[in-house]
Amino acid sequence: MNTVDRIFASAGAGESFAAGYLEYCNKLLSSLDTGAVARMIDEIVSARARDSQIFFIGNGGSASTASHFANDVAIGTRCPWKPFRAIALTDNAAIMTAIANDDGYEQVFVKQLEALMKPRDVVVAITASGNSPNLVKAFEFVRAHKGIGIALTGFDGGRLAQMADIDVQVTTPKGEYGPVEAVHGVLLHLVGNYLIQVVRGETQQASRTNPAVAAVSGS
């Protein structure tokens, strides 16, 4: 019986389950390695500075998180004069289904990276198990072609935790997808809001000396 099962078994009612579930998610959040989170943020900031791309990948609920993460980094930061070049490789149905149909689902991300990734680009994989074959293949490509791999994992981290340059792990019993994905959602907003603050400070400083930046940013 995993933690969520135990919370339900002892709850007796929806309100008690809600309180227990949220308490458990808070515990997972408080146990995160904030140093690893900081390294992830620094790598994304560095990618922008060198004009590298940032690719987000994931399956199922984590595919949705990948799309959300790319949106918040590329668009939510609102920095047209020096953008974060972030994209989710989960978002093109024609590409995804063509690769899955022709080459197999385990190839859906690596085939895209073969066409798009350059050395020192960043690939962020979002996964609970860390063992999805298409993510593992993607990280094999990243390592072989001098990319930078960041993993948001759960459970025991799986293979991706060992392959990643940076691993932010939500350590739980296997099978606890909901709490892991909930914490990943908090992480994407944490990173997005930090980047907004970075851009806001840069924009304010640059606007004082560069009218072109002020015009583009609306400040």
Mean local confidence (pLDDT), 22-40 = 97
pLDDT at 214 (0 to 100): 56
Does residue 151 fall inside a structural domain?
A: yes
Mean local confidence (pLDDT), 178-196 = 98
8-17 per-position pLDDT tens digit: 999 879 999 9
Q: Is 216 a residue whose pLDDT tops 60?
A: no
Question: Which residues face 57 on adjacent strands?
Answer: 125
Does residue 22 fall inside a structural domain?
A: no
- Residue 165, domain extent: 32-217
CA–CA gap between residue 108 and residue 67 (Å, rounded): 15
Does residue 19 fall inside a structural domain?
A: no
Q: How many domains does the chain have?
A: 1
110-160 per-position pLDDT tens digit: 999 999 999 999 999 999 999 999 999 999 999 999 999 999 999 999 999
Does residue 124 fall inside a structural domain?
A: yes
For the chain, give the percent of residues with pLDDT over 90.
Answer: 88
- Which of 53, 187, 177 is CA-nearest to residue 115? 53
State the pLDDT confidence band at 211, using cuts at 50, 70 and 90. Answer: low
CA–CA gap between residue 59 and residue 5 (Å, rounded): 24
Number of H helices, E strands in the chain: 10, 5
Separation of CA 134 from chain center: 16
Q: Is 217 a residue whose pLDDT tops 70?
A: no
Does residue 13 fall inside a structural domain?
A: no
pLDDT at 219 (0 to 100): 52
* Residue 75's CATH number: 3.40.50.10490
Q: Where are the beta strands (DSSP E) in the chain?
A: 53-58, 85-88, 122-126, 148-155, 166-171
Question: Which residues face 21 on adjacent strands?
Answer: none
Q: Are 151 and 145 in contact (CB under 8 A)?
A: no
For the chain, give the percent of residues with pLDDT over 70.
Answer: 94
Separation of CA 103 from chain center: 25
pTM of the model: 0.92
pLDDT at 205 (0 to 100): 77
pLDDT, greater one: 71 or 13: 71
- Average pLDDT of the chain, as a whole number: 94
